[in-house]
């Protein structure tokens, strides 16, 4: 009996180790060309005495992204406007005085690893959305204003928002630990893919209630699993390992709470914020809870929906905006 028990245990371990990630697919034949253009390096070659020619060359090299960056991120307008060169000069002097550019260069002397990660992520994206375009990728410095931002054809990555949890800047800014936890290089692919998904599939409201938000955010998390199959759950959910384990163990409890407290269809901003917005934890629950616990349930509903409707493409999933129908068709029962 003892030998038999050991054999059964061995088979169970072997079986659990051989469970394959359904999103771990072969994308070697998917063609994606990505080269991260380093505006963060080029910009700091600025010389006030040759500003006109310099800015013209930057504008030619970076196109519409340069205008997006200067007008929306730096808030100094576009290079054809009066006093633009002076305002840009002030920004560069500030960054140099604060040694932001120097620290970014030390942390990111090369972007080969990041570039390869993004190529892999967008190969998976292209596999599921073959008709969709791949954005141009640019790195920059935002003086801690933004992390990742997009327009219809490009993604900007502000490297100064990913200098690591021990960065002196984040300490001086007195940021909460849950925010600093996301300000690491490993988080960039997650933030890029999340931003691009949101850009391609903006939130389309039928009624602004908690369920609508849970389903939409759950879709995004489901796609992150598909596009980043090798990335850890703690990175994709921006939480600690203990918080992730809490979410797995308490899925039924979260759902029961939402149902019993009549929160599912709540349109109260406070309810939506509590269960959807980022934070150190989810407010109605203990401090060991995962932040965005409502999103976790939304993700599990989407997971059940795709399992119940196996012929549904990702495109169909993302464009199905009836949250009630998704919940009903998922047969979700934690």
For residue range 180-197, list pLDDT tens digits in order. Answer: 999 999 999 999 999 999
Per-residue pLDDT at 157 exceeds 90: yes
The values of phi and psi at residue 91, to 5°, are -65, -45
pTM, whole model, 2 decimals? 0.92
Judge whether residue 6 has pLDDT over 60.
no
pLDDT digit string, tens, across residues 279-299: 999 999 999 999 999 999 999
- Residue 292 near residue 276 (C-beta atoms within 8 A): yes
pLDDT: which is higher, 3 or 25: 25
- The residue-averaged pLDDT of 51-78 equals 93
Confidence (pLDDT) at 5: 47
Of residues 103 and 21, more confidently modeled: 103
């Amino acid at each position: 009996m003892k030998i038999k028990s050991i054999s059964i245990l061995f088979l169970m371990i072997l079986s659990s180790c051989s469970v394959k990630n359904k999103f771990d697919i072969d994308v070697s034949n998917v063609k994606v060309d990505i080269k991260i253009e380093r505006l963060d390096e080029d910009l700091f070659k600025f010389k006030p005495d040759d500003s006109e020619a310099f800015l013209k060359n930057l504008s030619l090299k970076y196109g519409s992204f340069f205008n997006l960056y200067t007008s929306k991120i730096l808030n100094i307008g576009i290079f054809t406007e009066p006093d633009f060169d002076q305002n840009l000069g002030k920004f560069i002097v500030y960054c140099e005085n604060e040694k932001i550019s120097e620290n970014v260069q030390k942390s990111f002397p090369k972007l080969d690893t990041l570039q390869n990660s993004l190529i892999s992520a967008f190969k998976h994206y292209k596999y599921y959305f073959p008709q969709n375009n791949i954005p141009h990728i640019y790195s920059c410095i935002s003086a801690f204003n933004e992390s990742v931002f997009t327009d219809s054809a490009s993604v900007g990555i502000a490297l100064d928002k990913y200098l690591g949890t021990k960065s002196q800047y984040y300490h001086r800014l007195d940021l909460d630990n849950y925010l600093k936890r996301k300000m690491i290089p490993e988080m960039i692919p997650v933030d890029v893919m999340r931003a691009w998904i949101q850009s391609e599939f903006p939130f389309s409201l039928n009624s602004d209630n908690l369920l609508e938000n849970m389903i939409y955010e759950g879709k995004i998390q489901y796609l992150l699993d598909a596009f980043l199959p090798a990335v850890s759950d703690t990175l994709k959910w921006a939480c600690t390992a203990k918080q992730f384990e809490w979410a797995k163990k308490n899925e039924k409890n979260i759902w029961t709470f939402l149902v019993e407290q009549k929160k599912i269809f709540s349109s109260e901003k406070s309810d939506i914020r509590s269960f959807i917005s980022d934070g150190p934890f989810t407010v109605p629950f203990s401090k060991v809870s995962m932040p965005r616990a409502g999103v976790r349930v939304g993700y599990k509903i989407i997971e059940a929906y795709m399992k119940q409707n196996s012929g549904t493409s990702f495109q169909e999933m993302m464009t199905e905006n009836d949250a009630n129908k998704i919940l009903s068709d998922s047969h979700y029962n934690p």
